[in-house]
Amino acid sequence: MKIQDIQALKSLLAAPKKIAIIPHRSPDGDAMGSTLGLYHFLKKYNHEPIVIAPNEFPDFLSWIPGSETVKIFEKDKENCSKILEEAELIFTLDFNALHRVGEMEKVLEKLTAPFIMIDHHQKPDSYAAYMYSDTSFGSTCEMLYNFINFLGEGQAIDKIIGTCIYTGILTDSGSFKFPGTTGNTHRIVADLIDLGVENTLIPALLFENSSYNRLQLLGRALQNMKVIPEHHTSYITLTQEELNSFQHVKGDTEGIVNYGLSIKGIHFTAIFIENKDENIIKISFRSQGGFDVNQFARDHFNGGGHRNAAGGKSELSMAETIHKFEDLVTKITI
């Protein structure tokens, strides 16, 4: 982050302000962890922060401290729009293009307060007056830890802020396995553990808290998995009917895509999840090694993300989408 930006932000934050903090639509552990970590930090300095999520966050994140204060734009558009219009500063965390907030984009576009972006995705848009954007980081939460230190306020990070930050580092690094994980990541985590952050309880709350239905849905997903060994590729499909038959709730499909990479010799995988409400197929891509799924998602499925983890969507039917995907896979080297 530029020194002059840090200085400018220090002055902006010197007096209490109304501050809106926004994660991307369908927020994950990093989006919720970073926005709530920042929320608790700003509260300490007598600001009036509020986290406004574009839509509901999954239940498996509802234990994160402060999540009960989060406003959901989709559920209360009028009130949330008013809060946004009154905000003197807007933080956008864990995304870098306004379309990632869905319908809320229309409200954000009209705001005149300065935007601050903290994010680790590729190709940031230019809506923010202040940007801390760096794709080398494994999580926005790790960047938030640095950001607070850039402001010279590292001592403010306590167990609660640390718990939020730890959540995003853990979830976005695939439990410290993904390539963005560095020595610094572990040094930050060591610091957080010293502050009392519960590094055995948090993974249990996140990953060992499934419903029976979710595990049954996972079983179905694994049975649906197809492998294209000659192209080192696998993929999973889940139709709306299948999701309904397991009384699917938000968050149930989180992480299922990663199983596709756990087969020997598979370096590229995808999951196609039908959403009949929005009439789209939501897609997640994962790769291991050099194949750039961010580029693949951008080029073919109206999406983006990172080199080894990206997402996109298709407005074709499930069968047509799979046909398109298989056709593309045969034409590329993985």
Report yes or no: 293 and 325 within 8 Å, Cβ to Cβ.
no
Cβ-Cβ contacts under 8 Å for 15 (sequence gap 6 or more): none
If one asks whether residue 117 binds ligand 5GP (CB under 6 A), the answer comes out as no
Task: Give the nearer residue to ligand 5GP in terms of CB position, either 194 or 277.
Answer: 277
Closest CA to 282 of 296, 269, 271: 271
Min dist CB 22 to Mn ion, Å, is 14
Report yes or no: 23 and 172 within 8 Å, Cβ to Cβ.
no
Angstrom distance (rounded) from CA 160 to CA 163: 5
Task: Give the nearer residue to ligand 5GP in terms of CB position, either 81 or 233.
Answer: 233
Which one of Mn ion, ligand 5GP, none is in contact with 303 (Cβ closer than 5 to 8 A by kind)? ligand 5GP
Which residues between 235 and 294 bind ligand 5GP (CB under 6 A)? 284
What are the residues facing 20 on neighbouring strands? 50, 90
If one asks whether residue 309 binds ligand 5GP (CB under 6 A), the answer comes out as yes
Report yes or no: 55 and 31 within 8 Å, Cβ to Cβ.
no
Angstrom distance (rounded) from CA 170 to CA 288: 18
Task: Give the nearer residue to ligand 5GP in terms of CB position, either 260 or 304.
Answer: 304
Angstrom distance (rounded) from CA 267 to CA 61: 29
Report yes or no: 311 and 321 within 8 Å, Cβ to Cβ.
no
Closest CA to 171 of 211, 201, 141, 210: 141
Residue identified by tokens 């402060």 is 66
Task: Give the nearer residue to Mn ion in terms of CB position, either 98 or 266.
Answer: 98
Angstrom distance (rounded) from CA 127 to CA 313: 24
Which one of ligand 5GP, Mn ion, none is in contact with 49 (Cβ closer than 5 to 8 A by kind)? none
Q: Beta 115-119 vs 48-53: how paired, if at all? A: unpaired
Which residues between 168 and 197 bind Mn ion (CB under 5 A)? 172
Min dist CB 241 to Mn ion, Å, is 31
If one asks whether residue 304 binds ligand 5GP (CB under 6 A), the answer comes out as yes
If one asks whether residue 64 binds ligand 5GP (CB under 6 A), the answer comes out as no
Which one of ligand 5GP, Mn ion, none is in contact with 309 (Cβ closer than 5 to 8 A by kind)? ligand 5GP
Min dist CB 215 to Mn ion, Å, is 25
Angstrom distance (rounded) from CA 96 to CA 108: 13
Q: Beta 115-119 vs 89-93: how paired, if at all? A: parallel
Task: Give the nearer residue to ligand 5GP in terms of CB position, either 43 or 298.
Answer: 298
Report yes or no: 227 and 325 within 8 Å, Cβ to Cβ.
no
If one asks whether residue 30 binds Mn ion (CB under 5 A), the answer comes out as yes
Min dist CB 111 to ligand 5GP, Å, is 22
If one asks whether residue 313 binds ligand 5GP (CB under 6 A), the answer comes out as yes
If one asks whether residue 93 binds ligand 5GP (CB under 6 A), the answer comes out as no
If one asks whether residue 25 binds ligand 5GP (CB under 6 A), the answer comes out as no
Q: Which of the stretches 163-171, 180-188, 298-306, 316-324 binds ligand 5GP when contact is defined by CB under 6 A?
A: 298-306
If one asks whether residue 310 binds ligand 5GP (CB under 6 A), the answer comes out as yes
Which residues between 60 and 119 bind Mn ion (CB under 5 A)? 94
List of residues contacting ligand 5GP (CB under 6 A): 121, 284, 303-306, 309-313
